[in-house]
Structure 1
Amino acid sequence: MKKTWLLLLGLFSTVVMAVEPGERLAPWTLLDQFEQPYSLDEQLQVLLVARDMEGAKLLEAALQGKPKGYLEQRHALFLADISRMPGPIASLFAVPAMRDYSYRVLLDRQARVVPRYPAAAATVLWLDLREGRLLAQRSFTDASALAAALEQAGP
């Protein structure tokens, strides 16, 4: 019974924290794959969120062959939830492999930030932002559609 209440409380708090269009995103700071901090700022226009490895692979496929700085030129960043990944796997294998990516990956190691955004499993959630406020959101399950959307968001 106690576990049921905790589960319901956790689900309720996630729903309550979800951001609606027009709302300002709550501030946060996370480290990237190079241990460099990034704090959410008003210049960010697109926040791409993946809750799992399938979503991260979807973005990786969409960015295949794109030059370094491609996301940054579009005022976009990628936020990945790696909280369910075992610590040794993350530190010894996954994060070092991410250092070869041509784009920055903000790492939510403790699921402090990603649960605020309703990203479904195996998708990339796209949040359109202006001056720190959510304008709209959409989800991608196809790498080519995501690549096309990124191209349209061009510099």
Structure 2
Amino acid sequence: MLCLLATLGHALEVGERLAPWTLLDQYEQPYSLDDGLQLLLVARSMDGAKLLKAALEGRPKGYLEARHGVFVADISRMPSLVSSLFAVPAMRDYNYRVLLDRESRVASRYPGSESGVLWLRLDHGKLIESKEFSDAAALRAALESIAP
């Protein structure tokens, strides 16, 4: 039990390999973490999701994918009726893929605030940079700095 608690409290360190996971997106299509992923964006709340949406406003379809990035939205606190009838269908209109963490089993692995967007840069599955954004313009500028 103590080992489990120690693992849960362990913050991800630069140089560490991310544990594998698979999530479904807003179209019920699976996505699995692989060594090709270079940018993992995580939002734990509606505020974080809105921040990313604002940063990506006006960007073409495939913008994140071109930067080898994905977005994980922790929707575990959203009532399932609300998510299935309103939130997820609305996400189908987004021009980017949203990986839905319905049980907070992925987002909870990465430390971060409730209201921002966690930015994890990866190299062959290993963490090379971690930062947080609470401003859409700053997040947009950081995304623009990544060559597609």
> Which runs of structure 1 show a deviation greater than 4 angstroms over 4 or more consecutive aligned residues?
10-13
Query: TM-score of the superposition, structure 2-length normalised?
Result: 0.95
Give unmatched runs, 5+ long, in structure 2.
none
Pair 1:129 & 2:129 matched: no
The one-letter code matched in structure 1 to 2:65 is E
Deviation at 1:136, TM superposition (A): 1.1
Larger C-alpha radius of gyration, 1 or 2? 1
Equivalent position of 1:105 in the other structure: 98
More helix as a share of residues: 1
Hey, what's the Cα distance between the residues in 2 that align with 1:134 and 1:70?
22
Q: Does 2:144 align with 1:154? A: no
- Deviations 1:63-110 (CA, angstroms, capped at 9, x unpaired): 000000000000010001000000000000000000000000000001
Question: Gaps (5+ residues) in structure 1?
Answer: 1-9
Matched residues in 1 for 2:37 and 2:27: separation? 20
Cα drift, residue 40 of structure 1: 0.2
Q: Superposition pairs for residues 52-71 of structure 1, below 5 Å?
A: 52-71=45-64
State the TM-score, normalizing by the size of structure 1.
0.90
Count of paired positions:
146
Cα distance, 1:13 vs structure 2 = 5.1
1:95 equivalent to 2:68? Answer no
Alignment partners' CA distance in 2, 1:14 and 1:85: 23
